[in-house]
Amino acid sequence: MRAVVIETPDGKPGSTVDRDMPDPVAGPGQALVAIEYAGLNYADLMMRTGIYPHPKGYPLIAGLELAGTVVAVGDGVTGVAPGDRVAAFSEDAGAFAQLCAVPVERIIHLPEDIGFDVAAAFYVQALTAWNLLHTVSKTKPGDTILIHAIGGGVGLFLTQLAKAAGATVIGTVGTAGKEARALDYGADLVINRANEDFVSATLAFTDGRGVDKVVDSTGASILDRSFDCIRKLGHVVSYGEAEGKPYDSLWERLVQKSLTFTRMHLGHMDYGSDDWAKGVAAVIEAVENGTISVPIEGVFTLDTIEDMFAALASRKTAGKLILKVGA
């Protein structure tokens, strides 16, 4: 099969290659999926540069997110069968290939009216957003939420899902132009961090009270400064460190306002839980009925894989980049 392989995690173009690899087989508890489309996530860029916080061995077939058709199942598999249209999250990567074996617990069935391209564009980011808002924290009408990197893939899903829950949404971006789609999706205020101090702007918007919750994927100085614009007894929810690690000792910031801090990784979810099933059902229903839009920003092929990584690294995209594989 053809596959995108990261030979060494140095971030250099020549270290990520499209080459033939042995076909995987479905082991116990797994399904083998013939992939039509795969989704690119910032985690893939971090794996390529060797800074992903959940280390993988190299060489590595890249890609965490896929959509396609089941072609075989392993021993002990129930509820999934050859011919099923599915999307999946592959924690061990391998999605940028024509075939991928994934644990069936991380597979979701697709309604006929959701295409493989759309399915590859929402699984990781929309379900991350839903669980950030409704599993590891609770979001209710009247809440005010600050979302960093609101113009990115997860940020746009967070915006739509938070507004659907009745929250007021403030967002920040680091690149001019990325605020447009977030505002189109209902954000109440978007701050360009390059031109304006987001702490002052947030406090002004909330009349000095501060926000109820911060949702952050940036880490470093952006997360560190966010503690200055959250109310007492507020909640900080982190799901990434794109800019680097935050304070070594978060305790010093949490204790000042009796804050709660949560760090979530989608791979740590309980896929057999009611919370997970509820999130899957809610997201699929929202995609089907148009409550949330799936912003596909670009479609690439195995022959243009370098262009796809470069587009994400530019930080100018506002939406999802997907890879057309075609089994």
Shortest CA distance to 3 belongs to which of 49, 62, 47?
Answer: 62
Residue 14: predicted pLDDT:
84
How far apart, in Å, do the first and last CA atoms of the chain sit?
Answer: 9
CA distances from 218 to 125, 147, 223, 244 (A): 15, 10, 7, 7
Please state the domain extents for the chain: 2-124+269-324, 137-263
Shortest CA distance to 265 belongs to which of 102, 62, 52, 117?
Answer: 52
Q: What is the residue-level pLDDT of the chain in tens, covering all 327 positions? A: 999 999 998 888 888 999 999 999 999 999 999 999 999 998 898 899 888 877 678 999 999 999 999 999 999 999 999 999 999 999 889 999 999 999 999 999 999 999 999 999 999 999 999 999 999 999 999 999 999 999 988 999 999 999 999 999 999 999 888 899 999 999 999 999 999 999 999 999 999 999 999 999 998 889 989 999 999 999 999 998 877 776 677 888 899 999 999 999 999 999 999 999 999 999 999 999 999 999 898 999 999 999 999 998 887 777 899 999 985
Shortest CA distance to 317 belongs to which of 89, 195, 160, 156?
Answer: 156
Shortest CA distance to 214 belongs to which of 205, 202, 204?
Answer: 202
Fold of 2-124+269-324: Quinone Oxidoreductase; Chain A, domain 1 (3.90.180)
Shortest CA distance to 178 belongs to which of 163, 164, 159, 161?
Answer: 159
Q: How far apart are CA 109 and CA 22, in angstroms?
A: 26
Residue 243: predicted pLDDT:
75
* CB-based contacts of 75, cutoff 8 Å, min separation 6: 27, 28, 29
Residue 247: predicted pLDDT:
64
Residue 216: predicted pLDDT:
96
Name the residue with tokens 């966010």.
226
Specify the DSSP class assigned to residue 97: B
Q: How far apart are CA 327 and CA 317, in angstroms?
A: 27
Write down the CATH number for the domain with range 137-263. 3.40.50.720
Shortest CA distance to 298 belongs to which of 325, 326, 318, 320?
Answer: 320
**Burial class of 199 by CB neighbour count within 10 A (0 to 12, 13 to 18, 19+):** middle
Q: How far apart are CA 325 and CA 327, in angstroms?
A: 6
Specify the DSSP class assigned to residue 135: T
